[in-house]
Structure 1
Amino acid sequence: MTQKLGAVRIGKDAVSRIAGRLDAELSAFRNRRLEMSYPYLYLDATYLKVNWGSHVGDLALLVVIGVNAQGFREVLAVESAAGEKKEAYRNLLKGLMERGLTGVQLVISDDHESIKASVQIELPSARWQRCIVHFERNILCHVPAADMTEVAGDLKGIFAVHRRESADALVAAFIERYGKRFVKAVGVLKNGLANALTFLSFPSGHHRLLRTTNGLERLFGEVKRRTRVVGIFPNERSAANLCTAVILRVTEEWALKRYLDIEPLNAMNEASEGKN
């Protein structure tokens, strides 16, 4: 069915019929038990246009990707929310825990207050990593275009290191170099730095994969590409069902390729337990 979406533009009745046929399969996916632990979670949302009857508006599609105890990625949840409301992420995490979610050590996301608050409440032992791509953009929006390349290069250097001491030295040099020229940019860096460097507390071989939500962004791009023929979804259910089906189709190959070697994390945890 998801292949057919790319063939021709289809009407709202056809979209609704296809979405209805997917109900049973997707219900099983959404309610399945989570048997393994998932040390790393990625959270983000994408937005779809939906016909709400009286108007056309946005529907947030909240997605959670987990890296399991064997180092493979899985789509753990795809849930719709009429706007990225305060309770939406908390309910999402609560639902995952009710299904058996355990072992979360790090949550990677953009700087959403609703996500941070939900993680603190529902996953109090987990740490939070701010996506450095979004963070760098927030900093660079306060830098003139003529200086953008230079400043961006220095920023990337900060987040490319594998030791906190090295990062701190580069941050100090950045502040010394740009502190008077780009006051707002440096202020943003200072305020958000701690959460942008959380990844340094985890195995160095994982750093590149823990710094950003790029994997989710690519997935969202593929969802938009494959559902473009629909245009405006006729209702919330059809949007959630069809996009979930597309996500599952796109990520089928994840089961065949290990995302990362989980052993360094296991060794780090064992060493930490030995010290306590």
Structure 2
Amino acid sequence: MQTLGITGLSKSQVSEMAKDLDTQVEAFRTRPLDEGPYRFVAADALVLKVREHGRVVKIACMVATGINNQGYREILGAAVGSAETKEGWLTFFRDLAARGLSGVELITSDAHAGLVEAAGAVFGGASWQRCRTHYAANLMSVCPKSEWLGVKTLVHSVYTQPNAEDVHEQYQKVLDTVEHRLPAVFAHLEAAREEVLAFTKFPKELWRKVWSNNPN
């Protein structure tokens, strides 16, 4: 506060400032979602450290970001919980729907089972896009360290193709390349094919905005 030229600040002034901020945050978190329909939504839980009862603890902050009808990303909502759970995501998604979130066609997230199941329960008509960045980390866990650079390069080549048909063809070429040499990698890629390539059902100009939840 001193850097702003304020040399004295009473506890009551701090309290009043906090109350004002609380009001603004609450208004933001409960506002009607009337800039939709939001066809594309990215969801992620951020692990944050907070002070609670005099000690520092970790919490999960669930965040949903949508693309509004002007084409811009918009934070739709945020909620905190002691951990990332299916129940927490279910409550969060239901609140978004109650505030007007509609028209969702694709939800992008990591493979947290509770998140995916909750999203399906609330937004049953939406497809699921498995975040390409999170998926790469999952794939790396089954790949020999000495082979990862080559596998990573192969997988990256999938996302550089000019159209949906070529994306699927390149994905198959990657599978053919690793099938016999790296069976665990092959099995992982084969099982994830549908959710990793869900973005190809939409126009190419949107791919970069929907194949990852990294903006969160």
Which residue is equivalent to 2:144? 144
TM-score by length of 2: 0.86
Do the aligned residues in 1 keep the contact of 2:65 with 2:74 (CA within 8 Å)? Answer: yes
- Structure with greater helix percent: 1
Cα pair 1:162 1:207 within 8 Å, conserved = no
Please say if residues 175 and 189 of structure 2, whose CA atoms lie closer than 8 Å, have aligned partners that are also in contact. Answer: no
Instruction: Rate the CA distance shift 1:16–1:45 in 2: closer, same or farther, 3 A.
Output: farther
Q: Give the deviation of 1:185 after TM superposition.
A: 1.4
The one-letter code matched in structure 2 to 1:68 is: N
- The RMSD of aligned alpha carbons is 2.5
Per-residue deviation at 1:17? 7.3
Q: Contact 2:94–2:122 (CA<8 Å) still a contact in 1?
A: yes
The question of 1:186 aligning with 2:186 is answered yes
Unaligned ranges ≥5, structure 2: 5-12
TM-aligned CA deviation for residue 152 of structure 1? 0.9
- Paired position in structure 1 for 2:116: 116
Counterpart-to-counterpart distance in 1, 2:64 and 2:80:
12
Cα deviation digits, residues 12-64 of structure 1 (max 9, x gap): xx998764441111111111111121111111011112344496432101111
CA gap 1:17/1:171 in 2 versus in 1, 3 angstroms: same
Q: Larger RCO: Structure 1 or Structure 2 (Cα < 8 Å, ≥ 6 residues apart)?
A: 1
| Closer, same or farther: CA 16–123 of 1 in aligned 2, 3 Å | farther
Question: Where do residues 103-252 of structure 1 align in structure 2 (5 Å cutoff)?
Answer: 103-216=103-216
Equivalent pairs, count: 207
Distance 1:211 1:193 in 2: 13
Q: Which residue of 2 aligns with 1:25?
A: 24
Q: In the alignment, what sits opposite 1:87?
A: 87
Change (3 A) 1:193 1:42: same
Name the TM-score, length of structure 1 as normaliser: 0.68
Cα drift, residue 116 of structure 1: 1.0
8 Å CA contact 2:109, 2:213 repeated in 1: yes
CA distance in 2 between counterparts of 1:154 and 1:143 reads 13
1:76 deviation in Å? Answer: 0.9
Structure 2 counterpart of 1:24, one-letter code: T
Give the letter for the 1:30 counterpart.
R
On the 8 A contact 2:43/2:109 being kept in 1, the answer is yes
State the shift of 1:207 in Å: 0.9
**Shift, 1:151, TM fit:** 1.4
Distance apart, 1:176 and its partner CA: 2.3
